Amino acid sequence: MKRAVVCGAGGFIAGHLVKRLKGEGYWVRGVDCKHPEFSESEADEFLLLDLREPRDCETALSLNGGPPAEVYQLAADMGGMGYIHTAECEIMHNSALINIHMTQAAVRAAVSRYFFASSVCVYRDMKPGEPELTEEDAYPALPDNEYGWEKLYAERTTMAFGRRHGIAVRIGRFQNCYGPGGAWTGGREKAPAALCRKVAEAYDGGAIEVWGDGSAVRSYTYVDDIVDGIRLLMQSDLEGPCNIGSPEYVTVDELAATVARAAGKHVRLVHVEGPVGVRSRNFSIRRMASIGWHAQWNLERGIAKTYAWVEAQVNKRRGEQTP
Ligand code: NAD
């Protein structure tokens, strides 16, 4: 039986990845500094460890009977735009330590295949309508925020360790990922979950606040598609970072309208000041397409599924708050 270690397994994407690996017949060790919030982990074994600590990284990767066949490094100090803009020191410090110590531990444990979760935040800001950027266009580097700079540094650290120590490194640069099981409140939530929550809390005919003027262009990728991409990439020979994201680009206002349709509500958008991030995105996904990856979920279908889940969380919280 193949054995995998999934770091960040108490979180959103890695939680879904654990489920996928279990479905494919792997033995899985999940590692995180917290348990999953919304459901029990499906991992065979779940270790609570602080991956900023070198010792904990070594514990994460040490298994009886030899190294894990695959390591998936998705642990990060992470959040939506609100978090990225207010916690830049924490992000630079915590995520850099995790990645430095995890790569070192992978060498010590003689790991042969290592996946690192990067982000399209490594790219510069773009103007709406600009031609798509390829993976090479991350250089000369000008990420819009410190989260992106840390990802770029961690990509390079991981690749350098891979080159020197013969580890097959695979790197996915994820677009905004959404779906059931992600942060939906508390400050770390990203735009799709935040808008689902606001719409779920609003009454039909009411209003919700949207950060910025609503014109920023993004694509949003359903979590199952991201997990498909991680698995395909890990099994492939593709070296170097690969963009993984839906080619369906929409404005923030269009995203909000999609959420309102999923809810069956009419809501008015009130634009307020808030951190927005880059004005536009447009990336080539040719590298991932070359190994057969294509997004299977369009925004309408993915948001419908996500809205239903967030609405259930909102209703559950309401129930808990009602005496
Ligand atoms: P998440 O916050 O749900 O998961 C990250 C997990 O890392 C959390 O459970 C957290 O507890 C854990 N973690 C943080 N510090 C740790 C530490 N010191 N020790 C052990 N565990 C620690 O985030 P996610 O959305 O599932 O993202 C997973 C990965 O994908 C991250 O690396 C993130 O940067 C990357 N990514 C996510 C998106 C997205 O839209 N969600 C987009 C691009 C890249």
CATH number at residue 203: 3.90.25.10
Q: What average pLDDT does this structure show over 289-302?
A: 98
pLDDT score of 322: 78
pLDDT above 90: residue 184: yes
**Within this chain, do residues 41 and 88 fall inside the same structural domain, yes or no?**
yes
287 within a domain of the structure (yes/no): no
Place of tokens 């459901």: 39
**Within this chain, do residues 136 and 271 fall inside the same structural domain, yes or no?**
no
**Within this chain, do residues 169 and 183 fall inside the same structural domain, yes or no?**
no
Pairing type for strands 249-251 and 217-222 reads: antiparallel
Domains in the chain: how many in total? 2
Domain region containing 188: 178-219+248-280+298-321
Name the region of 181 (left: φ>0; alpha: ψ -120 to 50; beta: rest): left
Tokens at 62, concatenated: 């040490």
pLDDT-derived band at 275 (thresholds 50, 70, 90) equals confident
Ligand 1 midpoint to CA 116 (Å): 11
**Within this chain, do residues 96 and 139 fall inside the same structural domain, yes or no?**
yes
17 within a domain of the structure (yes/no): yes
pLDDT score of 323: 72
For residue 34, what are the contacts with CB-CB under 8 A and spacing of at least 6? Answer: 10, 48
Length of the chain: 323
pLDDT-derived band at 108 (thresholds 50, 70, 90) equals very high
**Within this chain, do residues 49 and 193 fall inside the same structural domain, yes or no?**
no
Percent with pLDDT over 90 in the chain: 95
Place of tokens 């996904």: 285
**Within this chain, do residues 161 and 132 fall inside the same structural domain, yes or no?**
yes
Atom of ligand 1 nearest to the CA of 13: 26
Q: How far apart are CA 189 and CA 240, in angstroms?
A: 29
288 within a domain of the structure (yes/no): no
Name the region of 158 (left: φ>0; alpha: ψ -120 to 50; beta: rest): alpha
pLDDT digits 0-9 by tens, 212-245: 999 999 999 999 999 999 999 999 999 999 999 9
65-to-60, 61, 62, 68, 281 alpha-carbon distances in Å: 14, 12, 9, 9, 45
Between 85 and 139, the more confident residue is 139
Ligand 1 near 98 CB (within 6 A) = yes
**Within this chain, do residues 79 and 182 fall inside the same structural domain, yes or no?**
no
pLDDT score of 321: 84
Q: What average pLDDT does this structure show over 276-287?
A: 95
292 within a domain of the structure (yes/no): no
Ligand 1 near 8 CB (within 6 A) = yes
Helix (H) or strand (E) holding 75: none
Ligand 1 near 70 CB (within 6 A) = no
**Within this chain, do residues 156 and 11 fall inside the same structural domain, yes or no?**
yes
Catalytic residues: 147
**Within this chain, do residues 35 and 87 fall inside the same structural domain, yes or no?**
yes
Ligand 1 near 81 CB (within 6 A) = no
Percent with pLDDT over 70 in the chain: 100
Ligand 1 midpoint to CA 9 (Å): 9
Strands (DSSP E) along the chain, which ranges?
3-7, 27-32, 45-48, 70-73, 113-119, 168-174, 176-178, 207-211, 217-222, 241-244, 249-251, 268-272
36-to-14, 53, 125, 251, 278 alpha-carbon distances in Å: 10, 20, 33, 31, 30
**Within this chain, do residues 69 and 204 fall inside the same structural domain, yes or no?**
no
Tokens at 31, concatenated: 């590692």
Q: What is the mean pLDDT of the chain?
A: 97
For residue 165, the domain's CATH number is: 3.40.50.720
**Within this chain, do residues 88 and 67 fall inside the same structural domain, yes or no?**
yes
**Within this chain, do residues 200 and 238 fall inside the same structural domain, yes or no?**
no
Q: What average pLDDT does this structure show over 141-157?
A: 97
DSSP reduced 3-state for 219: strand
